[in-house]
């Protein structure tokens, strides 16, 4: 089954609203006509202006995190409905930096995912092992636990909205990409986990993208792997010329 390629830029805590609109205006003509779907996960304060600017160029704008509650006395937090109203169409959940630096647990990520679905934001679920877990041979164990826990209680009809991002923690912001074989094996295993939960037909439709030091040189080979349906790009997505080259380098693969 053929799945579209998806390229998600994760800007982390970079770029003001003004910088974001300049970026999108610069990027737009360079990716015009390209077949991949392009998403940009921007800082909260940038969502409204980036979404207004990106509306006409077919680029989706989303957030990098959200709270699991609909609303409440949670100082400094942000709710899915607020992101949606600002113009976000998706949200990254369980990013390695959220898990590692901010101590997000599988249980919290599960609650966030249910909330995102309820409030109509497309969830991008990040999963991946640490270096120690990899060295201990626990990759499958970790991926299965993260996927099963995150997707518990998700209604079958909503699984079509999901994108999974395999992000081995040791490869994020590391200038070290996982080998193509490692990535394909991990993606195929993630798909198997989804299949065990929701059946083959649904599992074959879920896009599974790779993140971890993706750049313009390695993207083509990464997305040529059978179960790799795109990439999540951090550092290399901060420059519009580099991001457009990444998008262009994916042309013709699917």
Q: Which residues are catalytic?
A: 95, 167
CA distance 52 to 158: 27
End-to-end CA distance of the chain: 11
- In contact, 20 and 41? CB cutoff 8 Å: no
Told to check if 211 binds ligand PEP by CB under 6 A, we report yes
| Closer residue to ligand PEP (CB): 59 or 169 | 169
- In contact, 35 and 251? CB cutoff 8 Å: yes
| Closer residue to ligand PEP (CB): 116 or 216 | 216
Told to check if 193 binds ligand PEP by CB under 6 A, we report no
Told to check if 129 binds ligand PEP by CB under 6 A, we report no
Task: Specify whether the backbone of 153 is left (phi greater than 0), alpha (psi in -120 to 50) or beta.
Answer: left
Told to check if 167 binds ligand PEP by CB under 6 A, we report yes
CA distance 138 to 108: 22
| Closer residue to ligand PEP (CB): 86 or 214 | 214
Told to check if 168 binds ligand PEP by CB under 6 A, we report no
CA distance 37 to 164: 15
Cα angle: 242, vertex 181, 37; to 5 degrees: 40
Told to check if 235 binds ligand PEP by CB under 6 A, we report yes
Told to check if 143 binds ligand PEP by CB under 6 A, we report no
Residues between 11 and 30 that touch ligand PEP (CB under 6 A): 12
Output the six-digit token pair for 123. 């969830």
Told to check if 212 binds ligand PEP by CB under 6 A, we report yes
| Closer residue to ligand PEP (CB): 66 or 203 | 66
Judged by the rule CB under 6 A, the positions of this chain that interact with ligand PEP are 10, 12, 95, 167, 172-173, 211-214, 232-236
């Amino acid at each position: 089954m053929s799945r579209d390629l998806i390229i998600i830029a994760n800007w982390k805590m970079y770029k003001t609203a003004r910088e974001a609109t300049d970026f999108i205006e610069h990027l737009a003509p360079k990716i015009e006509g390209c077949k991949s779907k392009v998403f940009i996960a921007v800082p909260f304060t940038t969502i409204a202006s980036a979404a207004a600017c990106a509306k006409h160029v077919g680029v989706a704008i989303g957030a990098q995190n959200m709270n699991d509650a609909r609303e409440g006395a949670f100082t400094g937090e942000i709710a899915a409905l607020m992101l949606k109203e600002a113009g976000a169409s998706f949200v990254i959940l369980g990013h390695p930096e959220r898990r590692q630096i901010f101590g997000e647990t599988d249980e919290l990520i599960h609650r966030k995912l249910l909330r995102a679905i309820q409030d109509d934001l497309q969830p991008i679920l990040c999963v991946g092992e640490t270096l120690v877990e990899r060295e201990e041979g626990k990759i499958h164990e970790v991926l299965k636990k993260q996927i099963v826990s995150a997707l518990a209680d998700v209604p079958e009809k909503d699984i079509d909205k999901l994108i999974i991002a395999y992000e081995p923690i040791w490869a994020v912001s590391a200038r070290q990409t996982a080998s193509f074989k490692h990535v394909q094996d991990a993606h195929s295993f993630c798909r198997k986990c989804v299949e065990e939960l929701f059946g083959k037909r649904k599992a074959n439709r879920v896009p599974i993208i790779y993140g971890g030091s993706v750049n313009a040189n390695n993207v083509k080979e990464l997305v040529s792997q059978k179960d790799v349906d795109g990439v999540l790009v951090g550092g290399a997505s901060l420059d519009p010329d580099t991001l457009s080259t990444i998008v262009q380098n994916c042309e013709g693969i699917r």
